[in-house]
């Protein structure tokens, strides 16, 4: 008896087939395909059933159904990988996709995507080509290397170099460089996977040349040096200079591998940025092989770049793992275009997005913040206080963890007991059509404007806040 009474509201729900036959549903199918509309209808009906079971049956008229289904389908087909506005203050933000590509790279990628190309075809001889050879000449020009190869990312480059040069042998590393780079990339683990034995030398704070000299022997595959990219050791410390270690390795005939991590191609101090070692310097110091990322300070696509001695790079390229780690034509096109920009250092800052953002003038960021302050005030209303404050941006991706870049931020705080909390504010900005990502610290939402180049877009996004959230705009 009771079960019949309870079932009655369920019976009022239409069947899947009935919903699929409605004109509005048919037009959704026309636009988005049957599979995804069927899923949306099933999910929608399940939600209605759950509502009834929970004792809150909703009246379902055709217009409501049509609009709810249209929303569901729109959500389902919307791309999951979305653009966001990075106001975190970290320029090379790994979770937000690191370096932004300059227009030149975007054009080059679009072109190779849509057409055939000489990826592995030698146009001159008409024979088979090598995809690395497309990039070797420009890398030689920019780093002074004899040879080069490109893989999926720098983690892959390190793995591949270790596996090729030291498998079944010892890799000599300082205890001060037993590091974790983030995202579960820990040097000892990578060594184990690469099949090499870790031979630790020195101590956490001090390693001397004689420590290396004593460790090198018949079992040595290579000596590895890792650039301190995401940490600093200070106080009573000693580290062996690259050039000294390079000379020792050349003398003893063992490969010297240097993982530079970020690896800036040019001296960044020219633009007021902290100096990072360049692959050219590291090679000149005697490194046999140097690895670095494509999408950190270089400002290009995700890639791992391996430069070094011809014979060692040739060995690396013959490793079957290389085939598994190779890059696609889009990566090569973007990388070639970005590397090309380095040929003209005088225009590099203007053209290379990452460098432009990193070296942006603080006064310009401050002025931008002042212009945006009233826009935020209008959009967020009385529950929020808006101020412009000095802040410090980070390069990100491990590059120069200690150095900070002077910048300016819009800082949003709750105003009055009924005001919006920083968490609520953060959620509101994340819910915008193009999510705006800031950082909560000291009970405030901080929006570092260093990476904001499209001011007009942010203004028009803020315009929709009252509509989306029902917050009363302030005067
Ligand atoms: C970032 C980094 C890596 C990893 O590079 P990905 O390109 O992110 O794979 C390796 N070593 C060092 C020192 C790094 O800074």
Q: Read off the pLDDT of residues 161-192 as tens digits, 9 standing for 90 and up.
A: 999 999 999 999 999 888 777 667 788 899 99
Q: Is the CB of 294 under 6 A from ligand 1?
A: no
Cβ-based burial of 401 (10 A; exposed 0-12, middle 13-18, buried ≥19): middle
Q: Is the CB of 229 under 6 A from ligand 1?
A: yes
| Res. 57 pLDDT band, cuts 50 70 90 | confident
Spatial separation of the C-alpha atoms in residues 336 and 284, rounded to whole Å = 23
Q: What's the gap in Å between 229 CA and the centre of ligand 1? A: 8
Question: Among 165, 159, 160, 164, which Cα is nearest to 190's?
Answer: 159
Q: Read off the tokens for 135.
A: 């990039």
Alpha helices (H) in 319-454, listed in sequence order: 320-325, 329-341, 345-351, 353-358, 362-380, 422-430
**Cβ proximity of 143 and 279 under 8 Å:** yes
| Res. 9 pLDDT band, cuts 50 70 90 | confident
Spatial separation of the C-alpha atoms in residues 390 and 20, rounded to whole Å = 57
**Ligand 1 atom closest to the CA of 399, numbered from 1:** 15
Q: CA distances (Å), 120 to each of 116, 129, 254, in order?
A: 11, 4, 33
Cα end-to-end distance, the chain, whole Å: 59
Dihedral of CA 400/403/405/408: which sign? positive
Cβ-based burial of 193 (10 A; exposed 0-12, middle 13-18, buried ≥19): exposed
**Helix/strand/coil for 109:** helix
The model's pTM = 0.91
Q: Is the CB of 226 under 6 A from ligand 1?
A: yes
Which region among 195-199, 317-321, 342-346, 466-470 has the lowest average model confidence (pLDDT)?
466-470
Residue 58 phi, psi (nearest 5): -105, 140
Q: Is the CB of 102 under 6 A from ligand 1?
A: no
Q: Is the CB of 152 under 6 A from ligand 1?
A: no
Q: Read off the pLDDT of residues 194-219 as tens digits, 9 standing for 90 and up.
A: 999 999 999 888 899 999 999 999 99
Q: What's the gap in Å between 296 CA and the centre of ligand 1? A: 9
Q: Is the CB of 89 under 6 A from ligand 1?
A: no
Q: Is the CB of 400 under 6 A from ligand 1?
A: no
Residue 285 phi, psi (nearest 5): -80, 0
Torsion from C-alpha of 356, 359, 362, 364, nearest 10 degrees:
-20
Q: Is the CB of 446 under 6 A from ligand 1?
A: no
Q: Read off the pLDDT of residues 428-442 as tens digits, 9 standing for 90 and up.
A: 999 999 999 999 999
Q: What's the gap in Å between 10 CA and the centre of ligand 1? A: 56
Dihedral of CA 359/409/400/333: which sign? negative
Q: What is the mean pLDDT of residues 256-261?
A: 96
| pLDDT score recorded for residue 7 | 58
**Cβ proximity of 309 and 147 under 8 Å:** yes
Largest CA distance in the chain: 94
**Ligand 1 atom closest to the CA of 183, numbered from 1:** 8
Report the nearest-CA residue for atom 6 of ligand 1: 154
């Amino acid at each position: 008896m009771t079960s019949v009474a309870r079932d009655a509201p369920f019976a009022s729900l239409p069947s899947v087939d009935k919903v699929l036959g409605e004109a509005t549903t048919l037009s959704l199918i026309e636009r988005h395909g049957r599979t995804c509309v069927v899923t949306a209808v099933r999910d929608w009906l399940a939600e209605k059933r759950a509502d009834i079971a929970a004792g809150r049956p909703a009246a379902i008229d055709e217009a409501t159904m049509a609009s709810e289904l249209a929303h569901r389908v729109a959500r389902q087909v919307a791309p999951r990988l979305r653009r966001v506005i990075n106001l975190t203050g970290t320029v090379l933000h790994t979770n937000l996709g690191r370096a932004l590509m300059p227009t030149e790279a975007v054009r080059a990628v679009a072109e190779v995507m849509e057409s055939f190309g000489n990826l592995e075809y030698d146009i001159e001889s008409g024979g088979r080509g090598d995809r690395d050879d497309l990039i070797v000449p420009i890398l030689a020009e920019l780093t002074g290397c004899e040879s080069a190869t490109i893989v999926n990312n720098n983690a892959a480059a390190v793995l591949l170099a270790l596996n090729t040069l030291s498998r079944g042998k010892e890799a000599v590393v300082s205890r001060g460089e037993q590091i974790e780079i983030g995202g579960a990339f820990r040097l000892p683990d990578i060594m184990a996977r690469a099949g090499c034995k870790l031979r630790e030398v020195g101590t956490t704070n001090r390693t001397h040349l004689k420590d290396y000299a004593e460790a090198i022997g018949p079992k040595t595959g290579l000596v590895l040096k890792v650039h301190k990219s995401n940490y600093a050791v200070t106080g009573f410390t000693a580290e062996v200079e690259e050039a000294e270690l390079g000379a020792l390795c050349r003398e003893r005939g063992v490969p010297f591998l240097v993982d530079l991590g970020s690896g800036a191609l040019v001296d960044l101090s020219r633009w007021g940025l902290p100096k990072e070692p360049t692959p050219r310097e590291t090679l000149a110091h005697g490194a046999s092989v140097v690895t670095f990322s494509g999408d950190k300070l270089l400002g290009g696509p995700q890639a791992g770049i391996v430069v070094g001695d011809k014979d060692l790079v040739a060995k690396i390229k013959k490793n079957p793992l290389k085939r598994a780690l190779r890059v696609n034509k889009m990566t090569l096109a973007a990388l070639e275009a970005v590397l090309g920009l380095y040929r003209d250092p005088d225009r590099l800052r203007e053209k290379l997005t990452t460098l432009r953002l990193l070296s942006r003038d603080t006064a310009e960021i401050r002025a931008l913040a002042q212009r945006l302050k009233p826009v935020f005030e209008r959009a967020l209303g009385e529950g929020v206080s808006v101020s412009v404050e000095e802040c410090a941006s980070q390069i990100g991706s491990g590059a120069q963890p200690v150095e900070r870049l002077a910048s300016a931020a819009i800082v949003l705080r709750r105003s009055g007991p009924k005001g919006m909390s920083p968490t609520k504010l953060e959620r509101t900005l994340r819910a915008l059509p193009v999510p705006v990502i800031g950082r909560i610290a000291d009970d405030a939402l901080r929006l570092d404007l260093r990476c904001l180049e499209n001011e007009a877009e942010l203004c028009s996004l803020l315009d929709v806040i009252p509509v989306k959230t029902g917050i009363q705009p302030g005067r």
